[in-house]
A and B are shown apart, each in its own frame.
Chain A
């Protein structure tokens, strides 16, 4: 404030120059599509474009809410996310505590290196691996089962087995990577606490229970809340790749539904309306989660 505007600009114009292209990027590629959201309220026609298409009010949404496929996709999204939360959420926590307790430094580093790798593999490739491992005809696990005289398990074609496969693959892909934040938090715990506990005669389990876990409880709470906030948003790649026609009843989630209805069947308005519904509900979930984390853990995500 003490500095005059002209001096301020002269001194800092380069900073604003650096902002020009990124800001244009965000306006065009992030806010541009928001303009397109209006086609959820229009009968979209490619020739007339976004602006020229006719307004139809809430008709499209009425159509969405009368569609069984939509509700199935919504249910699956919530179901898969909830199961993922139960199965995949504790995995990195347990793994991180075990890694933290490792005393051989080279082994610890080696373990981390290997455990992170699946996170860097594309879902397309994981899809290929899943077929090789879980396939009914020539899958590795079923080969072993039939080799032992047991029946093959339809991991990919039976709905319930598919759910298990989907969850296992998720744990496999993300558990190692998920340890990073917990390990960071564990490293931040004051070492003297462990020494004091040792003097008091606490064993390893006692130390984990009374020092490690409480020491990272805000990290756990924050990640849990973020997960809850993302209940309705779901990535496209994993259900799209791991899913197949036989298990569509469970594998069709909102993101794949929008893709199929919009891009494949060309029902642009309907797909936009579903996407908008998902974005709005997601935003509400997220704000609620943020509010909750502020109250509970005194930590805000936003």
Chain B
């Protein structure tokens, strides 16, 4: 009987603590949303915590009427889709070939790829390479250097290997080519893994800003994160807002910054729940077999 009571107490405390941790996790987001929906005076006097004060959506109106911001959003979406698709095509190609254990030369291919996980030239030689290839200030500087992640490749290889070999053999007996097997049998069976890796690639591209910081100087090629970085760090309000001058008077950058932060987070949060159920299984397959 006392065993049952202590179990209950354990459960209650466990749920309480986890709930507390969840709140800790969410509080910064709630706070920043509250800031983005408040007006300047209460923000400045420190009255805004988790609820908007003097509710208004001015900051969002500003963000959405800022053409530079919208253009940057469009560019980042395009960039993310392009980079993710190319990354996935390349990763699938290399992972499928290398998942064939009897492929001649497989060890060598694995070796030259895995070495790059542990040794690299460093950011300066990377920069010089991108410069020499004349990729500076082009979209490709943001797409090509990080095209394939060896780590994701390994996850995908172990996923391909977990698919029963008999399926492939059956297809081969029917005279299907390797490409046919890949497209018609392997890929449809790998959707959870493919969704997971696409999410990882996409989030990496969406959130990345170091490469843009290094390789991009043309403002029209600034991804959202770089724009946001400059806005937050330099307290710079984007071009259009500065031109408006007086119209800005009632609007403090604080709520504007908060609104921009929300603005560039929402796309991730929209995609995330759809793919979330996949990535746990996707991660585990790769990790446990590691």
Q: Do A and B come from the same complex?
A: yes
State in angstroms the CA–CA spacing of A120 and B276 once bound together: 11
Say yes or no: B257 contacts A33, CB within 8 Å.
no
**Chain A positions within 8 Å of B120 at CB level:** 30, 33-34, 279
Contacting residues of chain B (188-220) with chain A, CB-CB under 8 angstroms: 203, 206-210, 214
Contact partners of A146 in chain B: CB under 8 A:
46
A275 to B271, CA, bound (A): 36
Question: Given the complex, which residues of B lie within 8 Å of A64, measured CB to CB?
Answer: none
Surface stretch bound by B, among A67-75, A78-86, A126-134, A159-167 = A126-134
Which of B15, B21, B98, B148 contacts A95, CB < 8 Å? Answer: B21
Chain B residues near A25: list those with CB within 8 A: 90, 144, 147-148
Given contact pairs A101-B10, A117-B272, A268 touches B128 in the complex (Cβ within 8 A) = yes
Interface residues of A in 106-126 (CB under 8 A from B): 107, 111-118, 120-125
In the assembled complex, the CB of A185 is this many whole angstroms from the nearest CB of chain B, namely 8
Q: What CA separation (Å) do A271 and B210 show in the bound complex?
A: 16
Is A103 located at the chain interface by the 8 A CB criterion?
yes
Contact of B21 among A115, A124, A201 (CB under 8 A): A115
Residues of B near A120 (CB, < 8 A) are 203, 207, 268, 272
Q: Residue-by-residue, is A44-62 near B (CB-CB < 8 Å gives 1, otherwise 0)? A: 0000011000000000000
Which residue of chain A is the closest to B35 with respect to CB atoms?
A132
Are B214 and A29 within 8 A (Cβ)?
no
Q: Are A98 and B18 in contact, CB atoms less than 8 angstroms apart?
A: yes
Instruction: Report if A132-B32 is in contact (Cβ < 8 Å); known contacts: A101-B14, A172-B25.
Output: yes
Which residue on chain A has the smallest CB distance to residue B284? A184
A115 surroundings in chain B (CB, below 8 A): 21-22, 25
Q: Is the CB of A21 within 8 A of B28?
A: no
Interface residue A23 (Cβ < 8 Å from any Cβ of B):
yes
CB pair B116 A26 closer than 8 Å: yes
- CB-CB nearest in chain A for B229: A124
Complex contacts, A95 vs chain B, CB 8 Å: 21
Q: How far is the CA of A35 from the CA of B122 in the complex (A)?
A: 11
Q: Interface 1/0s, chain A 190-207, versus B by CB < 8 A?
A: 000000000001011100
Size bracket of the A interface: 35 or more
A21 touches B93 (CB 8 A): yes
Question: Quick one: given A37-B122, A184-B287, A275-B124, are A19 and B269 in contact (CB under 8 Å)?
Answer: no
Whether B284 contacts A258 by the Cβ 8 Å rule is no
Are A34 and B232 in contact (CB-based, < 8 A)? no
Bound CA–CA A282/B28 (angstroms): 34
B283 to A, closest residue via Cβ: A180
CB–CB A204/B7 < 8 A: yes
B167 to chain A, nearest CB (A): 17
Interface SS of chain A: helix
B94 contacts across to A, CB distance below 8 A: 18-19, 22-23
Contact of A237 with B32 in the complex, beta carbons under 8 Å: no
Q: Which residues of A contact B125 (CB under 8 A)?
A: 32-37, 39, 272, 275
In the complex, whether A8 has a CB less than 8 A from a CB of chain B is: yes
Number of B interface residues in the complex (CB < 8 A): 90
In the complex, whether B273 has a CB less than 8 A from a CB of chain A is: yes
Across the interface, do B122 and A286 meet the contact criterion of CB distance under 8 Å? Answer: no
B49 within 8 A of A: yes
Chain B 249-287, CB within 8 Å of chain A: the 1/0 string? 000001001101100110011001100100010011001
Contact of A125 among B35, B116, B214, B228 (CB under 8 A): B228
Q: How far is the CA of A251 from the CA of B67 in the complex (A)?
A: 35
- Taking the nearest CB of chain A, how far is it from the CB of B207, in angstroms? 3
Q: Measured between C-beta atoms, what is the minimum distance from B119 to chain A in Å?
A: 6
Binding site for A on B (CB under 8 A): 3, 6-7, 10-11, 14-15, 17-18, 21-22, 24-26, 28-29, 31-32, 35, 43-44, 46-47, 49, 90-91, 93-94, 96-98, 100, 103-104, 109, 112-114, 116, 118-129, 132, 144-145, 147-148, 177-179, 203, 206-210, 214, 225-226, 228-229, 232-233, 254, 257-258, 260-261, 264-265, 268-269, 272-273, 276, 280, 283-284, 287-288, 290
Q: List 18 A-B contacts (CB under 8 A).
A: A15-B100, A18-B179, A25-B144, A31-B116, A34-B121, A50-B128, A113-B273, A122-B264, A123-B209, A132-B31, A140-B49, A203-B3, A258-B123, A259-B123, A262-B127, A271-B124, A272-B124, A279-B122
5 more contacts with CB within 8 A, not counting A19-B94, A114-B26, are A34-B125, A114-B25, A117-B272, A203-B3, A255-B123
Write the residues of chain A forming the contact surface with B, with a CB cutoff of 8 angstroms.
8, 12, 14-16, 18-19, 21-23, 25-37, 39, 49-50, 95, 98-99, 101-104, 107, 111-118, 120-125, 127-129, 131-133, 138, 140, 142-144, 146-147, 172, 176, 180-181, 183-185, 188, 201, 203-205, 236-237, 240-241, 255, 258-259, 262-263, 268, 271-272, 275-276, 278-279, 282-283, 286, 301-302
